[in-house]
Amino acid sequence: MPLFETVKKFKNQDYNKLKKECQAKGTLFIDTEFPPDERSLSSTPGKYGGVVWKRPKQICDNPKLFVEGASSGDVTQGKLGNCWFVAASSCLASFKEVWHKVIPDQKNQEWDPEKPDNYQGIFRFNFWRYGEWVEVVIDDLLPTINDRLVFIHSQSRNEFWSALLEKAYAKLFGNYEALDGGELSEALEDFSGGVSDTLNMLEMDLATKPDERVALFARMQKEMDRKSLMAASIPATSAEEMEASTDIGLVKGHAYGITCVKNVHLEGSGLFGLFNREKLPMIRLRNPWGQGEWKGAFSDGSPEWNKISKSDRDKIGLTFDEDGEFWMTFEDYCKYFVQTCICRVVNTSYLSLTKTWHEGLAHGQWKTPDRAGGCPNNQETFLKNPQYMFDVVDEGDECMVQLMQKSTRDKQGSQNLTIGFTVLRVELNREYRIHDLYLHEKVKSTVYRNSRSIFLRHGPLKKGRYVVIPSTFDPGQQADYLLRVYTSAANNFKELTQEKPVKPWYNCCGKPPVMVTHIKVVKAVGLEKQDRTGGADPYCIISCEGYKVTTSSSKDTTDPEWNTSGLFYRQNPVKNPIKIEIWNNNILRDDFMGKFLYVATDECKNQALEVALAGRKPETDAVRPGKLTIVVTQSRNLLSV
């Protein structure tokens, strides 16, 4: 766990307290919150007949939590259709940093043959759930038939970490059957607290685009180095295709853990001439069934491996065991697999030497009647959804946004809504909710999917302020969610809750605003050349009634483009016009370049104007070089923008 991070007790069960109680009584723990009977197996009585719940010591001699540590081969799927969870567990086993979080205090949880009295048949596991870590306590009674584990098991008969992990996860959702059917991203996120991105390689057309394939390989190598969890799948398009093996040995409707991504050296091998390159991009995957592997080039025992030196084969740990793990070229991977799931463990530690992200996090709710507006297709109601603001303070930064509904996965399985979100670029000083969608630049709208989470990584972004609007596809649907926004610098993330300015109770003499003005400075042309190099670094200041916004500087130009907006709620528009000043950004002192006063008080919408620039004192300096283009929307209805 990160320093100072707390762990919530699931069902208020305290592991240490329960263990001490068992020690005092000299008994083994039995978990009444997840009893060893059919209620914990399924919501359908009798679905798993003949099951006997047994402790590991009743199943084998010398049981262990781990046998020679954790590895992807320790996780083999049983009679449950939870390959998504099994594949994620295979990934988990490959990264100690992650499974030390999920399986805490491993040494003290392990069986100790020299101190048998210390064993009370109680274990604990940690899972990340919607912004916090949750500790789940279980007993070690596991479902068996004929002394064999019914569900997940290890290839080593006396190793039990994967079976106990599955039991703890099943308890989290009510029973084992609730894990039947799911997405890789769910378990990967619950193991790591990371953000998952699912790539559709068919839509990306990677099989025919070598440059994009190279870029994805480099990205996956980097993610593997960063200890990201990754898995792949070939979705089934019908019930008949589910878990059906193809001619090439891959299974549809099935999840594979990705355990290695690397270049294999071909120089000096018989494959150099065949592939005409020094290195061959390759990927290693594992079938959670523990058997059934890829049958194409570089499959186990294929002749291609004989042309690679033994030392290079040893370096990548090549074995030809029937263990479900296999290699294939990245080109074949992109040809035959459809989805790649990458779960990135986002680093937010200020003490880290690696790249850190600043996190904005909000627990929210779509609720009727005023915060459940549906997707943008519902033009009349979309802006009734919750709205969240964040800033991008570095030009060209990127952001990551994840929307995660608080899943209704329960004893009957997953019941997700179709969700997505839209990102808008708004005024630099926006503090209130948006009321006109088309007044703002749409940066990105995600695809709406029936999935627990939706992820977006987008950039480069212009410096400025942005608003994220999460929604369900249909209006009127109610659900809880978690929204996370990551940027490279502090982003001032917060929910926009107020519709318009409210006069403070302590300001008895102050007037309420009577007009709202949205003003966008688009560009200028023909400004005065002020720098020695012949150009300028112009920026704008827009001000009114004590408030102002400042655009970024445009470098080395007299024809700048800003496309930046400000929003002003005005108490006296007749007496106080909006002032726009253009300045040249210098190291020691900025130089004035021209100004324009917007004095009109008529209501208007998207009124484009090209205006002349005046000097600081119009009576002596009436005209300055250049023209300014602005777009104005103005109304006495404060809920119009």
Q: How far is CA 552 from CA 282, 525, 560, 628, in A?
A: 45, 16, 10, 16
Q: Can you point out the beta strands (E) in 163-301?
A: 195-200, 229-233, 255-265, 279-286
CA distance 28 to 557: 78
Structure tokens at 250: 């891959």
Give the Cβ contact number of residue 315 at 10 Å.
Answer: 12
Q: Can you point out the beta strands (E) in 368-514?
A: 387-392, 397-405, 418-426, 441-445, 449-450, 453-461, 464-472, 479-487, 494-496
CA distance 328 to 109: 38
Beta carbons of 411 and 178 less than 8 angstroms apart: yes
**Active-site option among 254, 358, 440, 518:** 254
**Active-site option among 22, 82, 83, 153:** 83
Q: What is the pLDDT of residue 227?
A: 80
Q: Exposed/middle/buried for 33, CB within 10 Å: 0-12, 13-18, 19+?
A: middle
Angle made by CA atoms 7, 10, 16, in degrees to the nearest 5 = 70
Task: Scan for tokens 């150099």, then name that residue.
Answer: 272
287 is catalytic: yes
Bridge partners of 613?
624
Give the CA diameter of the chain: 100
pTM given for the model: 0.85
Structure tokens at 57: 């010591």
Structure tokens at 437: 């969608």
Q: What is the pLDDT of residue 584?
A: 94
Say whether the peptide bond before residue 143 is cis (omega within 30 degrees of 0): no
Beta carbons of 433 and 389 less than 8 angstroms apart: no
Q: What is the pLDDT of residue 3?
A: 40
Burial 405-422 (b: 16+ CB within 10 A, else e): bebebeeebbebbbbbbb
Q: How far is CA 267 from CA 275, 276, 278, 279, 327, in A?
A: 10, 9, 5, 7, 19
254 is catalytic: yes
Which residues, including other chains, have CB under 8 Å from residue 25's CB and lie 6 or more apart? none
Give the Cβ contact number of residue 319 at 10 Å.
Answer: 9
List alpha helices for 299-435, DSSP H. Answer: 310-315, 330-336
Structure tokens at 242: 């589910």
Q: What is the DSSP string of 63-92?
A: -BS-SSS--GGG-B--SSS-HHHHHHHHHH
The closest alpha carbon to 197, from 205, 189, 207, belongs to 189
CA distance 250 to 266: 26
CA distance 471 to 591: 46
What are the 10-residue block averages of pLDDT along the chain, 641 residues in total? Answer: 69 94 93 94 86 94 82 74 81 76 87 81 94 95 94 88 94 91 85 89 88 93 86 72 71 80 68 59 80 78 74 63 76 92 79 73 94 95 97 91 83 76 97 95 94 90 96 96 94 96 63 93 93 83 95 93 96 95 92 94 96 82 90 96 94
Q: How is residue 233 annotated by DSSP?
A: E
Please give the backbone phi and psi of residue 324, each rounded to the nearest 5 degrees, phi first: 85, 0
pLDDT tens for each residue of 31-55: 999 999 999 998 888 888 889 999 9
Bridge partners of 327?
284
Q: Which domains occur in the chain, in start order?
A: 7-192 (no CATH), 195-344 (3.90.70.10), 358-496 (2.60.120.380), 515-635 (2.60.40.150)
Q: What is the pLDDT of residue 565?
A: 96
**Active-site option among 82, 126, 175, 287:** 287
Please give the backbone phi and psi of residue 463, each rounded to the nearest 5 degrees, phi first: -60, 135
Angle made by CA atoms 94, 230, 149, in degrees to the nearest 5 = 60
Q: What is the pLDDT of residue 142?
A: 96
Which residues, including other chains, have CB under 8 Å from residue 138's CB and lie 6 or more apart? 31, 34, 122, 123, 124, 125, 164, 167, 168, 171
Beta carbons of 284 and 327 less than 8 angstroms apart: yes
CA distance 344 to 456: 12
Q: What is the pLDDT of residue 313?
A: 66
Beta carbons of 79 and 41 less than 8 angstroms apart: no
